[in-house]
Amino acid sequence: MGFDSLIGGSIWDEYSQKVQNRMNNPKYMGEITEEEAKKKGGKLIVADFGAESCGDAVRLYWVVDEKTDKIIDAKFKSFGCGTAIASSDVMTELTLGKSVDEAVKITNLDVEFAMRDNPETPAVPPQKMHCSVMAYDVIKKAASLYKGVDMDSFEDEIIVCECARVSLGTLKDVIKLNDLKTIEEITDYTKAGGFCKSCIKPGGHEEREYYLVDILRDVREEMEKEKVLKAVNNSDNEGSFKDMTVVQQLKKVESVIDENIRQMLIMDGGNLEILDIKPNGENTDVYIRYLGACSGCASSSTGTLYAIEAILKEKIDESIRVLPI
């Protein structure tokens, strides 16, 4: 029975198309034997990680070239919900071809972002965000087994919620990225504070250095300050993009594309390059060329093009038009 027959339309709409595809047709589900790893000339690593909070678990298989520390093959098994399968599948794909040191830098936010259909819309509903945290943790477990160290040695941030293993940095990022305003929303998105509740505020059974109420207050204050500063800068620099040199404009556009767009294209086997930027009356025309799979994609002149143009308009200047060549 497919997942699409188990979930109603209204709930299904909260999942990106990429998540739906990975639920029903994961690319990297399976296992790797010692014999298969030897044939590939690598060391087999098998890592298990379970989330006590929801009962889901994942097993990650790596074949690592010990001469280069590169992950030359990877598969997974997931024991849990469809979102856990999709998250594990994307996580496995993200580790392929990377060194172990590079793979351990992949975060749960990277996994969730890679499952989005567009940069602005979360891939899964809030209550399922914790599945990408589990995918992140099993990478650290596999790396620790390969290097012979404790997995906690890879944690370079302070853990605020021990129950859900959510770090201070992750909490700050999630609050900012999703404009969260309440503790309940933080718990929905990260599972932090959903179990023993000691991390929510002082007075729980265990004293903490950081509490969610304080983190939320501080981040919201920082966001308000950034909003005011941005408004002031936008007012002071109105029309500044048009006043830039072509080289400056190219760098600005490239920066926004790298930050908001390029990863999504690469995940689908494509890319793009900026060819030129020219003023055209009231508009500023940005000429692009699609690369790889994007060059033959039907949406390259419709949905994808609209998304690229919308992001550049929002992040840089309303006068921008994107023209594929």
Q: Which long-range contacts does 182-186 make (Cβ < 8 Å, 24+ apart)?
A: 182/216, 183/212, 183/213, 183/216, 185/126, 186/212, 186/216
> pLDDT for 264-300, tens place per residue?
888 888 899 999 999 999 999 999 999 988 887 877 8
- Catalytic residue, chosen from 54, 161, 163, 199, is 54
> pLDDT for 150-194, tens place per residue?
887 776 678 898 767 788 988 998 999 889 999 999 999 888 888
Contact 91, 78 (CB under 8 A): no
* pLDDT over 50 at 108, yes or no: yes
Is 54 assigned a catalytic role? yes
The pTM for the full model equals 0.52
- Catalytic residue, chosen from 81, 131, 161, 199, is 131
Give the other-Cβ count within 10 Å of 252's Cβ.
18
Most confident of 58-67, 82-91, 106-115, 183-192: 58-67
Task: Output 306 or 13, whichever has higher pLDDT.
Answer: 306
**Which residue ranges make up each domain of the chain?**
3-154, 157-236, 241-324
> pLDDT for 21-72, tens place per residue?
999 999 999 999 999 999 999 999 999 987 655 567 899 999 999 999 999 9
For the 3-154 domain, the top CATH level (class) is alpha beta
SS3 track for the chain: CCHHHCCCHHHHCCCCHHHHHHHHCCCCECCCCHHHHHHCCCEEEEEEEECCCCCCEEEEEEEEECCCCEEEEEEEEEECCHHHHHHHHHHHHHHCCCEHHHHCCCCHHHHHHHCCCCCCCCCCCHHHCHHHHHHHHHHHHHHHHHHCCCHHHHCCCCEEECCCCEEHHHHHHHHHHHCCCCHHHHHHHHCCCCCCCCCCCCCCCCCCCCCHHHHHHHHHHHHHHHHHHHHHHHHHCCCHHHHCCHHHHHHHHHHHHHHHCHHHHHHCCEEEEEEEEEEECCEEEEEEEEEEHHHHCHHHHCHHHHHHHHHHHHHCCCCEEEEEC
- Give domain 241-324's CATH number out of 3.40.50.2300, 3.90.930.12, 3.30.300.130, 3.90.1170.50: 3.30.300.130
> pLDDT for 190-221, tens place per residue?
888 887 788 999 987 778 899 999 999 999 99
